[in-house]
Amino acid sequence: MVAQRKVSALLSAGANVWVVSPQISPVLQDLGRTGEIRVLLTTFQPELLKESFLVIAATNRREINQQIAAFCRENRILVNVTDCQEESDFITNAFHRQGDLMMAVSTNGKSPYLASKISADLADAYGKAYADLLKILGEARADMKRKEIGRGKMIKVMDELLGDDLLQLLQRGNVNEAREKVRQCLLQ
């Protein structure tokens, strides 16, 4: 599960991902079959990491994670050890992404489980309607910039749009009606 979340985050950032493990989850198997990641079904072998820029040690065995961390330090490879913040060069945040809206949660490595729970709560609270809202507001902002509307007027329009019922319209699936409200607001 931890490896799946890490792989998902890396893929969303455009990384070229290799998974090295004797066993992988069905989700990772599917990603391997589709070519989204490369999979090596084997145990940890230091030479496999030589060309890596970044490594995430997410095994369920403390001694293997320690070996991975030691190898990475010796070879100047960035490493995140999921079960030991002190051995990591960096920590990763839990996050929720909805379109261009991205919210990150960090517990500074103290409780990844809590970070994941908060991220799941954010996903419940900020669903697709927020992605639609952000897209529409982004389009409105671009339109105002193109028309060289001043910053003060832009802020006033955005305040009006956010204070309006756009979100409720989008939550009901009325995207066209929301766009029309934005258009009318921009015409004023």
pLDDT tens column, 80-109:
998 888 999 988 888 888 889 999 998 887
CA dist 55 to 16, 67, 91, 107, 169, Å? 12, 12, 12, 21, 44
The pLDDT value given to residue 188: 76
Assign 139 a pLDDT band (cuts: 50, 70, 90).
very high
So what CATH class is 2-92? alpha beta
To the question of pTM greater than 0.85 for the whole model, the response is no
Structure confidence at residue 83 (pLDDT): 87
